[in-house]
Structure 1
Amino acid sequence: MSKTLNRPIRILVAKVGLDGHDRGAKVIATSLRDAGMEVIYTGLRQTPEMVVNTALQEDVDAIGVSILSGAHMTVFPKIVEFMKQKKLTNVLLTGGGIIPESDMEKLKEIGVGELFAPGTTMVTIVDYIRDWANENRNF
């Protein structure tokens, strides 16, 4: 059963680790903002714990991690672990970047949402986040 949120969707866009390429994350953040979402951008060189703490403080509906460094099989599981510790069970963890399809499947198995490869349209990403929030958040 779909619900409508009584406020804009809040999403945290994060860059974790030593990955210094943030152009894509900034484009995503701007596009999500243009779609009516409230966006909090962490900036570069965040740790998984910092991302989860910020998500908790900002009361976000979703966390979007942009990763190009190849550390996705370390970063996403650590974020999932910290989310469980902080009881952020109703927050979507999604993201994108250079992630092989086989790794995307493994990450989904541990609770990560849809992961988007370069070239994915913004409409696809916005619709996914909006649909997830409408189905899973109740504010």
Structure 2
Amino acid sequence: MTSKKNPVKILVAKPGLDGHDVGAKVVAHALRDAGFEVIYSGLHQSPKAIANIALQEDVQVIGLSILSGAHIPLCTKIIQELNQQNVHDRLLIVGGVIPEKDHEELFKLGVSKIFPNESKFDDIIQYIQEHTS
């Protein structure tokens, strides 16, 4: 459980044209229940919009939900936007349908952790707690 005084702030974002947001909403709800402050971006967010929200809300964690198969180009563009806006030192995690063959490339880009669809909420919560304290 996070501190009630200063909860970790997390942006859960849905980049690109992917219209499936049930998983992202369920994860956002689980994170809220665990004591995190969660901002949900809504569907179809551009990389620039995600970077803007991360900057304006001063989040510590950016969680991207990507089911479209466009995880590498989307993460590349989002990281470029974050860098252009001087949004650094944020924990960047990605969840969704991410083939294992793409994990190394995403890690090289700056993704900290990848959570497949079958990930348990407790594992996500524990990872965030361990990497934000």
Q: TM-score range by the shorter chain?
A: over 0.9
Rounded Cα–Cα distance in structure 1 between residues aligned with 2:8 and 2:101: 30
TM superposition score normalised by structure 2: 0.94
Rounded Cα–Cα distance in structure 2 between residues aligned with 1:129 and 1:83: 19
| Displacement after TM superposition at 1:82 (Å) | 1.1
1:5-33, Cα deviation, whole Å (9 max, x unpaired): 96100000000111000000000000000
DSSP-derived class of the 2:10 partner: strand
**Ranges of 4+ aligned residues in structure 1 off by more than 2 Å:** none
Which is further off, 83-92 or 61-70?
Answer: 83-92
1:9-66, Cα deviation, whole Å (9 max, x unpaired): 0000000111000000000000000000000001001001100100100010011000
User: CA RMSD of the aligned region, Å?
Assistant: 1.3
1:57-102, Cα deviation, whole Å (9 max, x unpaired): 0010011000000110110011111111112211111111001112
2:61 counterpart of 1:62 = yes
Aligned partner of 1:137 in structure 2 is none
% identical aligned pairs = 50
TM superposition score normalised by structure 1: 0.90
> Pairwise mapping of residues 1-139 of structure 1 onto structure 2 (< 5 A)?
7-134=6-133
More relative contact order, 1 or 2 (CA 8 Å, 6+ apart): 1
- Alignment gaps of 5+ in structure 2: none
Rounded Cα–Cα distance in structure 2 between residues aligned with 1:124 and 1:57: 28
Rounded Cα–Cα distance in structure 2 between residues aligned with 1:13 and 1:106: 21
How many pairs does the alignment contain? 131
Which is further off, 24-33 or 104-113?
Answer: 104-113
